[in-house]
Structure 1
Amino acid sequence: MSIAKIEMGESFTKLRLDDGYHQGVTVQTNLDDLDLDLIAALQQAPRAPVNVLAEALGSSPSTVGRRLQRLHDDRLVRVIGQVDWPLFSGAHPRHVWITTVPGRLQEVARALAERPETQFVAMTAGHADIYCVVLPAGRDHVRDLLTHEIPSVPGVVSTQSDLVLRPVIRADAWRLDRLPPDRLAALGSHRDDGEEGSGWAVPTPQEMAAVRLLHHNARTGSSEVARELGVSQSTAYRLIQSLLERRIVRPRVEVEPALLGMGLEAVVSLGVTPGAIADVAGLLGAHPSARYVSVVAGGASIIHHGVFRDEAALADFLSVDLARGSGVTDLRVSVVLDVLRRYWIRRDGVFLGDPRLPLPYGSEEGATG
């Protein structure tokens, strides 16, 4: 991507971009209060109609609709469908820490970001050079992926991995806390309550086709699903509701934390005594910084992936907030330098690529998170 021109103001930054997505267009990357309120509302109610969002924000539907379209067109915000793990494989994710040959960090990170198994890839400082989250295609793929395929990437010196035993909180639950109770109440029944699904079952081919559409755009309505799948609108509506109620698809807002004022991202690995794991995991999962917290097996007991406004906020988290939980025996921190891929979506600074979720059955031509 080439940046042809940068224009600075007190509350905005405009970039003149020439790349595959923005052919000579001007993109305003700093968000105003209405933009931030809209993102906060979408995090609470990702599928809420524009008129409901407008009422909650005290604005007009036309204004909110234009803002939402601009954020999407500028590749700053996407509302995607997060898809449940069992649709990928019978394996659980692994956190992988990688040390690289000096001077080859960026090359290795780019190579890893092209692999279909890598959900998250970031260059880091601290515990390792690269931190990534991988989801093997199946249990029979775990050994080769961890012992051969990743270590064989040119420039890799060593790797260490942790098996995710269970997630405590996932990124779809992270919220920008800026809307007062009355505005949240205006979102009504459209709010995502975060509860677990009503029961998981292998989706039918027709449901998988709907999953693929919702992953690309979780705000897709029944009329579009009906048109794409060649079914009636009532059938499409039932498909969508079933997938959402079973939590096979979890709508989530994709936006880089830095765009929301979170200037620092860190991954904290904690060693915890066995009797304290549940309590510490609960403490971390409830922390406002938490994007992804999981109980793991390997070199740590719990991994906390958090976002913070600045270094002072991270210092408070490490020295004050963590001190409230007993049982922590070890602490290792990796500070994120740059994110190349997050939830299978390529990142270029604050700009988002297209969702490319590698679901194992079904294809783009056939009937996917």
Structure 2
Amino acid sequence: MKTYLDTGTGRSVVRGLSDEDTALAHALQINGRASFREIAEALGVSDQTAARRWARLRSAGKLRVLGLTDPLRLGDTVWTVRVRCAPDAALSIGAAMARRTDTTWVNLSSGGTEINCSVRTRGPGLEETLLLEKLPRTPQVVDVSAHCLLHVYFGQDLSPLTKRGPLTPEQVALLAFPETPERVAEAASPVVLDDGDRLLLDLLARDGRAAPGELAAATGLSPSTVRRRITELRTSGVLYFDVEYHPDVLHRDFRAVLWLEIDPARLAEAGAALAAHPEVAFAAAVTGTANLFASVDVPSAPLFYRYLTESVAKLPGLRHTATAPIHRTLKGPGPYLQARA
């Protein structure tokens, strides 16, 4: 466990993982399906040690590797949704939203009166979705707004540990899955999946490190076909691996969302600059007057003030800033688990 000094309160805070476990988490963040031999080689430990640490962290609910899909590569659309609720209603409404399969990152913010979440829809529209069909008619929902996600500057397989992790560039290079032009090309034609692909991806979404034999038994494919298809889906940019952390592992004492209004001519520049900030866990361009959205994680409220006045204030083309503290995360990037919420 690590101890750090919160400069806002002067308290020593114990939080997170040991140095050895943090290195393992960083390795998995880089390549969630790296073998224990590859992880051991990069970390300078034995295969058995790497496997034992992973088993302990996984069984304790500290880490979960998820095989997730890039919506843009599948022709889907992601909406950042803000739901304002009557007092004391946000928790129950947010819990219901978290149980849906089309939502991720369901957070309570603004003193428990607002829900921020991501909603994924098949295709470009919002017809017959949670947003139009359910939320506006839900009692105690005051207002709903949706902002289409246009471009991710930082997120998906990247996390704060990508920036703050202990591994050296040489260790990262040993673990990294090679990128291809298809993986990063947003303008490429959507990839079409068959039923076997969707079943495989559903299984990986719950356990990104599931063994090929287990996946083969569940899908009816051979282990060699499973390995080949996973590689093809990764290479095409459809499949990526993320690590879901228990809140006491990475989350600091103060989290917030930012809604920034940026001069459109400076949006790409501002987004890239924001993505480089060590405090930023997610950053994306969205539709609406506030066209740059971010999630921020800092040790304390005074340090959040410093971040706003020293780093955010210097973003190119900044016109307006709105903030909302995050009080509780009901659902992260993967499928809903009751125990986690």
With normalisation by structure 2, the TM-score equals 0.83
Task: List runs of 5+ in structure 2 lacking aligned partners.
Answer: 4-14
Change (3 A) 1:65 1:145: closer
Q: CA RMSD in A?
A: 2.9
More helix by share: 2
Determine if contact 2:68/2:242 at 8 Å carries over to the other structure. Answer: yes
Give the whole-Å Cα distance in 1 for the aligned partners of 2:202 and 2:335.
Answer: 14
Residues 234-273 of structure 1 mapped to structure 2, 5 A cutoff:
234-256=224-246, 258-260=248-250, 262-273=252-263
1:94 to 74, 79, 88: 79
Report the alpha carbon displacement of residue 124 of structure 1 after superposing the two structures with TM. 0.4
User: Hey, what does 1:304 align to over in structure 2?
Assistant: 294
Give the whole-Å Cα distance in 2 for the aligned partners of 1:166 and 1:87.
Answer: 12
1:302-330, Cα deviation, whole Å (9 max, x unpaired): 10122223324322321111233221111
User: Hey, what does 1:5 align to over in structure 2?
Assistant: none
User: Hey, what does 2:175 align to over in structure 1?
Assistant: 190
Change (3 A) 1:318 1:217: same
2:166 to 179, 190, 199: 179
Change (3 A) 1:111 1:227: closer
Give the whole-Å Cα distance in 1 for the aligned partners of 2:224 and 2:115.
Answer: 47
User: Hey, what does 2:216 align to over in structure 1?
Assistant: 226
Taking every aligned residue pair, what percent have the same amino acid on both sides? 24
Change (3 A) 1:141 1:186: closer
Report the alpha carbon displacement of residue 287 of structure 1 after superposing the two structures with TM. 1.9
Give the whole-Å Cα distance in 2 for the aligned partners of 1:144 and 1:63.
Answer: 46
1:273-294, Cα deviation, whole Å (9 max, x unpaired): 1211111111112222332211
Give the whole-Å Cα distance in 2 for the aligned partners of 1:335 and 1:251.
Answer: 28
Determine if contact 2:30/2:157 at 8 Å carries over to the other structure. Answer: no
Residues 265-304 of structure 1 mapped to structure 2, 5 A cutoff:
265-304=255-294
Change (3 A) 1:289 1:30: closer
Count of paired positions: 323
User: Hey, what does 1:169 align to over in structure 2?
Assistant: 154
Structure 1 residue 83 corresponds to structure 2 residue 69: yes
Report the alpha carbon displacement of residue 148 of structure 1 after superposing the two structures with TM. 4.3
Report the alpha carbon displacement of residue 156 of structure 1 after superposing the two structures with TM. 0.9
Structure 1 residue 34 corresponds to structure 2 residue 23: no
SS at match of 1:244: helix
User: Hey, what does 1:59 align to over in structure 2?
Assistant: 45
- If asked which structure has higher relative contact order (CA below 8 Å, sep 6+), I would say 2
Change (3 A) 1:320 1:340: same
SS at match of 1:262: coil
Worse-superposed segment, 223-232 or 328-337: 223-232
SS at match of 2:121: coil
2:55 to 40, 59, 69: 69
Structure 1 residue 124 corresponds to structure 2 residue 114: no
